[in-house]
Structure 1
Amino acid sequence: MSRRAEFESEHPEVHVLSADQAGRVDLVMGAVGWLGDEEQVTTCASLDGESSTVMRVELQELRGGWRTAVLKQSLPWLRRDESVAMPADRWRGERAFYAEVARVPEAAAHMPRLMAANEARSLLLLEDFRGASNLASLYRGGSLGDRAAQALGAFLRALRLGTRGTEEPDPANASMKALNHRMLFETPLASAMRGGDGFGPDGPVPDDAALDATEPGLGEAAAALRSDRAFTEAVSELGSRFLAVGASLVHGAFHPANWLLVPDGGVRVVDPQYGGWGDAEFDIGTGLAHLLLARQPEEVVAAFLSAAGGSEDAEEVESGVDRPLVARYAGVEIVRRLIGGGQLPLEAEAGFRCGLLETARTAVVSGRLEVLET
């Protein structure tokens, strides 16, 4: 019996939703009280979530009014591959993240508003940004621009300053943090594996031949990195720190697929399913890693880092950004994306990946990254 079939057998009360079944979506939204008296779901459009089912629903009133919202259902499998298990409770951590962010207006302004949640069906109803598109195009030669880079950095700064100081933060999303740890700190350094369950959204690690096909010499460089004791020990130490409960709320997957460009030119941040309490430097490092992977101009990178760090005045001394820690987190994310399962559609010249992999090694081992020292 498949994972989904077993779940549906054990939980007949949970309707597994799909964008091509608007009638079922209407039934469920009505049952949980998310429709007005004269309102119905008319159309649903898939938003291509990888791990969860995400769709835009259009709701129309009999009198002619209409609105849209984003409906997200997170079930115990990967949406694009139902044979892969995912934490069943991840929607709770995401709900908790939105609740915390709502207390920080400067950060909440950059995210969708959580309109409702339903525990029995693992559902979230979110504000929709019509006409928005994610910024994965950056990997294929697109440019972020200074304004968007500053906005993304300002979001992280607001999140860091607005949530620091919680005496006993609730580690509400421990299962997703453990999954993130595996994808970042374990599988990129493991021998190449094929098939099987448990790889999560990244999928299995490509073997050295596959890496060499991507860029000549990358497989050899990956093998050398995996046998580099100084590097692997630094990764292990950083991974232990990552798993600890940190001082700030972090998004957990701060990269272009979760950055939306909205029609007015602004940016929004979505999908905090890996969010929880950790080092603020993790989000900054992840964002920096993806700007480097996407070969963004130096001024864009500088704008992001300046906005994320803010002015280190007396008010911010206690919560200042640890730049060597940013470098180390950036390094492990770069390694993950170059030789791990989370491959990206990079358009880059020959030698770019090998060169950036060496830069990432230096960042992890020494905490040094040139863009952070200017």
Structure 2
Amino acid sequence: MDLLVDQRADVEAHLLRLGWIAADEPLLDLAKAGEGNMNRTLRARLPGRTLILKQAVPFVAKYPDIPAPVDRLDAEAAFYRAIAGHAALRRHTPELLGEDPAEHLLCIEDLGEAADLTRWYADGPRAGDGALLDTLVDWLGTLHGLDASAIGFPANLDMRRLNHTHIFEVPFDPANGVPLSGALGSQQARLARDGELLKAAAELGGRYLAQPGDCAVLLHGDFYPGSWLEQADGRVAVIDPEFGFVGPPEFDVGVLRAHLTFAGFKEDAIDAHLDRYRAPAGFDPAQARAFAGIEIIRRLLGVAQLPLAADDETRARWITEARRMVLS
């Protein structure tokens, strides 16, 4: 079964076989839900409700030439199950309604009219957005406070290997095929010859891929504005935990810090919001900043580009600062 908007009859029959819809619930419409990169994600409209359907395919949906592990939604389903008993997390996360491993398909609660917070990249934060950010920081601290050893979470190693390539290797390769301006291309070429930076990136990448250590926690794995939904009632929700794994908390916090920089939050404001984060024992703030630096470089020089309004001068300044963060 292919989850495509023009395959409504096949999708309806499959949902009926799974028991996800009733015989008297015709599938009225299938439409794209959001701007996700990895998977086919559609909204199924029924007479009295809507569902979100998500299917993994053996490539990145937005970039079909990039292979991706087709079992990646196993980790997403495991994540939803892991937090199901924790009201503070579940309150800001959609509910898993069904799982079809044979078709790599999930059925997820539809949160209704909502937009992700990638608007921050172009417009910056609005009045009141600080409260949304505080909720997200609190959510992350609660997630990292779970007893990861009791969860039995899958290693999700194939997804981590894919992510590792695009975070810690591809951005430093001038032949990666990403179109850059002359100034940024020159900066990338300098970074590609920067032995000290490359060594530090390799060490951080090794920590990302390593077996869980003493300070390992359950990670979201992609904690950035594209995974945060602002709902019509003003609440914020966290989605798309398919990159989740048990690993270093500094990775999630570093990714968060990097994207707050892109969103236009001032350094002192970022620090003030992150002061709310309930860090687990052994948390290393310097390593979180190093992961943030890598994420900044990755998003400016790698494949997964963002809809940033920043000019080249600002981007170059960010890269210079990111190098300092990695090496400090």
Report the counterpart of residue 38 of structure 2 in structure 1. 51
Q: Show the counterpart of 1:363.
A: 325
Corresponding residue for residue 169 of structure 2: 186
Q: Which residue of structure 1 aligns with residue 134 of structure 2?
A: 150
In 2: Cα distance, 1:26 partner to 1:321 partner: 47
Matched, 1:40 2:40: no
Q: Which residue of 2 aligns with 1:8?
A: none
Deviation at 1:89, TM superposition (A): 1.0
2:175 and 2:239 map into 1 onto residues whose CA distance is: 31
Matches within 5 A, 1:109-124: 109-124=91-106
Question: Alignment partner of 1:40: what SS?
Answer: coil
**Residue 177 of structure 1, aligned match among 160, 166, 169:** 160
1:354 aligns with 2:324: no
Which residue in 1 is equivalent to 2:208?
242
User: Deviation digits for residues 62-113 of structure 1, max 9, x if unmatched?
Assistant: xxxx011100011112223434321111111111111112233222221111
CA distance in 2: counterparts of 1:355 and 1:122, whole angstroms: 42
Structure 1 residue 49: Cα displacement: 2.8
Using the alignment, how far apart are the partners of 1:303 and 1:44 within structure 2?
A: 43
Distance across 2 between alignment mates of 1:153 and 1:32: 37
| 1:162 partner SS | coil
TM (norm. structure 1) is: 0.81
Residue identity matched to 1:361: R
Tell me, in whole angstroms, the C-alpha distance in 2 between the residues paired with 1:169 and 1:71: 25
Q: Distance in 2 between matches of 1:126 and 1:22?
A: 18
Q: Residue 146 of structure 1 contacts residue 300 of structure 1 at CA under 8 Å; is this kept in 2?
A: no
Deviation for aligned residue 1:167: 6.5
> What's the counterpart of residue 58 of structure 2?
76
Map 1:271-350; keep pairs closer than 5 Å.
Answer: 271-298=240-267, 300-307=269-276, 309-310=277-278, 319=281, 321-350=283-312
Runs of 5+ unmatched residues, structure 2: none
The SS at the match of 2:46 is strand
Using the alignment, how far apart are the partners of 1:35 and 1:168 within structure 2? Answer: 30
Is the Cα contact below 8 Å between 1:76 and 1:87 reproduced in 2?
yes
Kindly state the Cα deviation for residue 133 of structure 1 after the two structures are TM-superposed. 0.5
Q: Provide the C-alpha distance between the structure 1 equivalents of 2:81 and 2:181, rounded to a whole number of angstroms.
A: 41
Please report how far the alpha carbon of residue 302 of structure 1 lies from its aligned counterpart in structure 2 after TM superposition: 3.5
**Distance in 2 separating the partners of 1:244 and 1:346:** 32
AA in 1 matched with 2:302: G
CA RMSD of aligned residues (A): 1.9
Cα distance change on mapping 1:299 and 1:236 into 2, 3 Å: closer
Query: Structure 1 stretches of 5 or more lacking a match?
Result: 1-14, 61-65, 195-204, 311-315, 367-374
CA shift in 2, pair 1:81/1:218, >3 Å? closer
Q: Deviations over 1:270-305 (max 9, x none)?
A: 111111111111111101101101212456524531
Residues 317-357 of structure 1: per-residue CA shift (max 9 Å, x gap): x6253210110110100000111122222112452111111
Q: TM-score, normalised by structure 2?
A: 0.92
Shift of 1:248: 0.6
Matching residue's letter, 1:55: L
Contact 2:217/2:246 (<8 A) preserved: yes
- Corresponding position: 1:104 with 2:86: yes
Once the two structures are TM-superposed, the CA of residue 37 in structure 1 deviates from its matched residue by 4.0
* CA distance in 1 between partners of 2:312 and 2:203 (Å): 32
Tell me which structure has the larger Cα radius of gyration: 1
Tell me which amino acid in the other structure corresponds to 1:360: A
Instruction: Check 1:31–1:113 CA distance in 2 against 1; reply closer, same or farther (3 A cut).
Output: same
Give the SS at the match of 2:167.
Answer: helix
SS at match of 2:94: coil
Amino acid at match of 1:353: R
1:139 paired with 2:105, answer: no
Query: How far does residue 362 in structure 1 lie from its aligned partner after superposition?
Result: 0.9
**Residues 347, 95 of structure 1: CA spacing in aligned structure 2 closer, same or farther, 3 A cutoff?**
same
Question: What letter matches 2:238 in structure 1?
Answer: V
Range with greater deviation from structure 2 (50-59 or 15-24): 15-24
1:329, 1:282 → 2: CA distance? 6
Work out the percentage of aligned pairs sharing the same amino acid: 35
The answer as to whether partners of 1:101 and 1:107 remain within 8 angstroms in 2 is: yes
Name the CA distance, whole Å, in 2 between partners of 1:190 and 1:361.
16
Q: Determine helix, strand or coil for the equivalent of 2:54.
A: strand
State the Cα distance separating 1:19 from its structure 2 match: 2.1
The change in CA–CA distance for 1:115 and 1:300 in structure 2 (over 3 A counts) is: farther
Q: Please give the alpha-carbon distance, in whole angstroms, between the structure 2 residues aligned to 1:169 and 1:362.
A: 37
User: Helix, strand or coil: the match of 2:49?
Assistant: strand
CA distance in 2, matches of 1:225, 1:29: 50
| Partner SS for 1:356 | helix
